[in-house]
Amino acid sequence: MLKSLRNQLVLAIGVVVSLFALLQGASSYHFSVTGTSALLDRRMETLATHLRVDFNEGILTFSTPTATDTHDLSVVVWKNGEALPAFANEPSPLLPRDAPLGFTTPVLDGEKWRLYTRRRPDQLVQVAQRMSVRHEIEKRASTRTLWPIFVLIPLVWIAVLVVVSRSLRQLNRLGRQVRRIDANRLQALPLTGVPNELLPFIRSINLMIERLAHSIETERKFIADAAHELRTPLTALQLQADNLQREIAPGNRERFRELQGGITRSSNLISQLLRLARADAPPTGQSMTRAMASVDIAAAVVNAIADVLPIAMQRNIDIGADEMADARVYAIALDIDTVVKNLVGNAVRYTPDGGKIDLSTRVRGTTVDIEVKDTGPGIDETLLPRVFDRFFRVSADSEGSGLGLSIVKAIVTRYDGTVSLRNRGDGQSGIVATVSLPVERDGTV
């Protein structure tokens, strides 16, 4: 969870804000208790100040503020010269008549009280309140100040999550752009609207992309130039070998055929390198635009089957199409033919005699899937991620140059498509190769 930068920021900011909120709550509670205590003292003092007790003609007369709620207070009035209180509003422990004037906190019958004493010329007025009652009032009043904090803390966490997520939205967008970068899309990341803190990082990525593009372009030029330079001498060797074929002694013909096979394999490798160089070339330029056209996928599959049909018949391989959807893609016809023929050629190469190869095309939404399914030995699951690597072969005894699937991937990626290889999951051995390409719509993809 904490590997996420967003989660780390939300947690850090949320914890800091929550701690400050709790400290603020504790401070508010303390000040509320202190303020409530002062208000209670003020109420006791006000009651003692405004309380009037007249003893004229043996009749007691009281005058108190009507708005003052005094149900939790004990009021005792002492008349000068008398040992017992002249008035007490409730039966309570006898308040100490000799208590100092003002506020005191005596303990009466094991219970703590808050006492206010005020002396007049003819009487002594005492107002008292149990500390337990007082603490309850302070607690109840102060607790109300905490409710907003406890309500706001979850809201603050939600706000922090929203703010951090919105702040990282630009980073997520850049991340998606970086994920789309590959050998055929080496475009610099935009700097417009990027936060200042991310500018050095983005500039470093753009510099890396620039260096990678230069390195890949150098590699492409080297492959293309080397292939072109080697093609001519290999063609000359092939011609010379053909001319010498009739003059080879019978005892040397087996070695001569091995020589011819080596020359043929080298020529095929050179041709594959040239195709790879063209497939890796950036899809730009007017020449490529003019070469693109509407390509019938079904026709490309039929042509690929026709090319390998003689070999398949010779090896008793059942090859055919079980489902052919009507779909077209906007591409260079040669590229689509190369993709399908390479997949079908691989299937024929690795399918044993008497095996079966099924081809199908299906339209799924905005893409068309070309599927080639064989009954070959399959590929070890640990090697599947490497099948598109250049010059990779499943085993040293495998035929081919190891470039066929690399060419397929390069071409498919150029057209914003995908290609995948997986082992069959229907109980039979074999490989399922699937290519997905955008369907042509109104003359374009």
pLDDT tens by residue, 384-397: 888 887 777 776 55
Is the domain 197-280 a CATH 1.10.8.60 member? no
CATH assignment of 286-438, among 3.30.565.10, 3.30.2350.10, 1.20.120.420, 3.40.50.2000: 3.30.565.10
pLDDT tens by residue, 50-78: 776 666 654 455 555 544 456 788 888 88
The burial of 22, by beta-carbon neighbours within 10 Å (0-12 exposed, 13-18 middle, 19 or more buried), is given as middle
Identify which of 339, 321, 325 has the alpha carbon closest to the alpha carbon of residue 296.
325
Strands 328-332 and 102-104 come out as: unpaired
Prediction pTM value: 0.51
Tell me the pLDDT of the chain (445 aa) as tens digits. Answer: 456 777 788 888 888 888 888 888 888 888 888 888 898 889 888 888 877 666 665 445 555 554 445 678 888 888 887 778 877 777 666 788 888 999 999 988 888 999 999 988 888 888 898 898 889 988 888 888 888 888 888 888 888 888 888 777 777 777 777 777 766 667 777 777 777 777 888 888 888 888 887 777 777 677 666 666 666 676 777 777 777 777 777 777 777 777 777 777 777 666 766 666 666 666 554 445 567 888 998 888 888 888 888 888 999 989 888 788 888 999 888 888 888 988 998 888 888 999 999 999 999 888 999 999 999 888 888 888 888 877 777 765 566 667 778 888 888 888 888 999 999 888 888 899 999 999 987 545 4
Q: Are 275 and 390 in contact (CB under 8 A)?
A: no
pLDDT tens by residue, 299-326: 888 888 888 888 889 999 898 887 888 8
Phi, psi dihedral angles at 353 (to 5 degrees): -60, 135
- In three-state secondary structure terms, 337 is helix
**Which residues are CB-contacts of 44 (< 8 A; sequence separation ≥ 6)?**
73, 103, 114, 116, 127, 129
